């Protein structure tokens, strides 16, 4: 993982303001990294932090979550900051679950709470270019015999 991290930013509607506040607080650090956000979240973040260069994807329910998932599968994302709302059902919950699953499959950093995001961004490993993320080897799984 390089010193310049590739970071995805997304939040459910009830958590967008919290993510925007977190991004604003960490604007200096985040400005040294490549940022992507799903549509509505990205628009809010750009309004809150116009100095940040945030590439906007589609809105989550319209494919933005899946675009982030593709970036993970293609090794084009290092960190996903995804503030979820545990109190509301999401109409695109299957997309959300797929995104968090891919984060696990490819062993990328996933912060779903503000506390976790704080620990991640303040970790010496986040500041370092020396971290080697181990991507699990799924060759045995791919080559398995089907019944």
Digit-coded pLDDT (tens) for 63-110: 999 999 999 999 999 999 999 887 776 666 777 888 999 999 999 999
The model's pTM:
0.90
Task: Answer yes or no: is pLDDT of 146 > 90.
Answer: no
Indicate if the alpha-carbon torsion angle 111, 67, 5, 16 is positive or negative. negative
Instruction: Output the CA–CA distances (angstroms, integers) from residue 114 to 79, 123, 140, in the order listed.
Output: 14, 14, 36
User: Rounded to an integer, what distance in angstroms lies between the CA atom of residue 117 and that of residue 10?
Assistant: 12
The residues carrying an active-site annotation are 65
56's enclosing H/E stretch is strand 54-56
User: Rounded to an integer, what distance in angstroms lies between the CA atom of residue 83 and that of residue 44?
Assistant: 14
**CA angle centred on 34, ends 29 and 54, rounded to 5°:** 95
Which is higher by pLDDT, 139 or 36? 36
Count of H helices and E strands in the chain? Answer: 8, 5
Model pLDDT, residue 49: 95
User: Rounded to an integer, what distance in angstroms lies between the CA atom of residue 22 and that of residue 38?
Assistant: 16
Model pLDDT, residue 91: 62
CATH fold group of domain 6-142: Rossmann fold (3.40.50)
Model pLDDT, residue 25: 97
Please write the tens of the pLDDT for every residue from 22-55. 999 999 999 999 999 999 999 999 999 999 999 9
Model pLDDT, residue 97: 87
Rounded mean pLDDT, 3-26: 95
């Amino acid at each position: 993982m390089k010193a310049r991290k590739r970071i995805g930013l997304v939040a459910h509607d009830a958590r967008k303001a919290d993510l925007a506040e977190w991004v604003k607080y960490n604007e200096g650090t985040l400005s040294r990294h490549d940022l992507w956000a799903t549509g509505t979240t990205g628009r809010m973040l750009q309004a809150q932090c116009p100095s940040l260069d945030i590439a906007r994807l589609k809105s989550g329910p319209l494919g933005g979550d899946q675009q982030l998932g593709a970036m993970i599968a293609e090794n084009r994302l290092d960190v996903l900051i995804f503030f979820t709302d545990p109190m509301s059902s999401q109409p695109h919950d299957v997309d959300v679950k797929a995104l968090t699953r891919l984060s696990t499959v490819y062993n990328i950093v996933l912060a779903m709470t503000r506390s976790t995001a704080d620990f991640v961004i303040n970790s010496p490993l986040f500041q370092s270019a020396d971290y080697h993320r181990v991507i699990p080897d799924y060759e045995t799984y791919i080559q398995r015999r089907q019944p």
